[in-house]
Amino acid sequence: MTERTRILLVRHGQTDWNRERRIQGWGASSLTRRGREQARALGRHLAATYDIDRVVASDLRRTRETAALLRDAGVEPEPTFQRAWRERDFGRLQGLTVEELFGGYPEYAATSGAVAIDAEPPGGERLRDAYERVIDGWEQLCTDADGETVLVVTHGGPIYFVLGDVRGQDVLTAVLDHSQENCAVNELRVGETVEVVRQNETV
């Protein structure tokens, strides 16, 4: 791994469910007009600021739409899509508002402590499993991206997990300590150690 390796983690543009504070998980929510504008602005910024070698994206609808708009705005590499970068799957609880989910099912809230790590939504995945899936993808990317600048188009949860892992935090602390705006940029430089250069920056 060379000191030139740079990984950019960005969250997708705004969706209707973001606006309504609904749990999206693996749901096929699409971008709002504002979300499309955010993605185009981000694409112009990234194209002007970075020489991007590769684009990797979650294969869910909202990240596919965001990646396509980034490319239209000047980010040249054609994206490849990986399930590793998906948000946590909340199964049959997807579509509930944040208040409905954590008010009615407090065992899924990170503030509930250790019980939240292994609480499994019906038809969904445990927080532990989502974390391990994302970190496996992150570690593989760090191995593969020697000397490259790689853009990853993903979701809030996976970005929390990566930032927490880099900082030596457990999964609950990672979830509680971080936040991400739609189309925010996180830049990490990867060498013998990983440096967070910028975090949750919007354009």
83-95 pLDDT, tens per residue?
999 999 999 999 9
What CATH number is associated with residue 151? 3.40.50.1240
Query: Domain range for residue 141?
Result: 5-201
Does the pLDDT value for residue 2 go beyond 70? no
pLDDT surpasses 70 at 3 = no
| d(C-alpha 180, C-alpha 197), whole Å | 15
Calculate mean pLDDT across residues 113-129: 98
**Quick one: pLDDT at residue 1?**
46
As given in the structure block, the two tokens for residue 68 are 């396509």
Who contacts 33 (Cβ-Cβ below 8 Å, separation ≥6)?
A: none
Contact 137, 82 (CB under 8 A): yes
Which tokens is 115 given?
């019980």
pLDDT at 78: 97
For the chain, give the mean pLDDT. 96
Active-site annotation, residues = 12, 87
Q: Which residue has the higher pLDDT, 1 or 125?
A: 125
- Give this prediction's pTM: 0.96
**Residues 13 and 185: beta-carbon distance below 8 Å:** no
| 162 close to 129: Cβ distance less than 8 angstroms | no
CA distance 51 to 34: 26
CA distance 158 to 88: 8
How many degrees, rounded to 5, is the angle at CA 83 between CA 23 and CA 99? 10
DSSP classification of residue 86:
P
Domain total of the chain: 1
Q: Over 60: is that where the pLDDT of 190 sits?
A: yes
3-state secondary structure of 180: coil
Tokens of 167: 């900082």
The whole-number pLDDT of residue 51 equals: 96
For the stretch 46-66, pLDDT in tens is: 999 999 999 999 999 999 999
Q: What is the dihedral of CA 15, 16, 18, 23, to 10 degrees?
A: -110
153-187 pLDDT, tens digit each: 999 999 999 999 999 999 999 999 999 999 999 99
